[in-house]
Amino acid sequence: MSSQRETYQLPSGGGSGAGGGFQGFASGFAAGDSSGGVTVQYVCGECAAKVSLGKGDAIRCSMCGHRVLYKERTKRMVQFEAR
């Protein structure tokens, strides 16, 4: 086994349709912004406000302070093959 970890490579933007399928995905380091890390959108379980969190941020709603956050479902179509 190699002692070095492989880094994640972003897929090429060859998607078709509106926005190429990666709407709102490329932010932070992925978009070339060196000021902050990648942020992920969450929805507060109490007030339904949209919250953006980065790595190391406190898991807490910025509007009401509630600590239960749900990750937003992807906009990209996910399809599984049944057996």
What pTM did the predictor assign? 0.50
Q: How far apart are the first and last CA of the chain?
A: 34
pLDDT over 80 (residue 2): no
CA–CA dist 10, 15 (Å, integer): 13
Q: Mind listing the pLDDT tens digit for each residue in 66-82?
A: 999 999 988 888 888 99
What confidence score (pLDDT) does residue 18 get?
46
pLDDT over 60 (residue 30): no
Q: Mind listing the pLDDT tens digit for each residue in 56-70?
A: 999 999 999 999 999
pLDDT over 60 (residue 4): yes
The residues spanned by each domain of the chain are 40-67
Contact between residue 49 and residue 62 where contact means Cβ atoms under 8 Å apart: yes
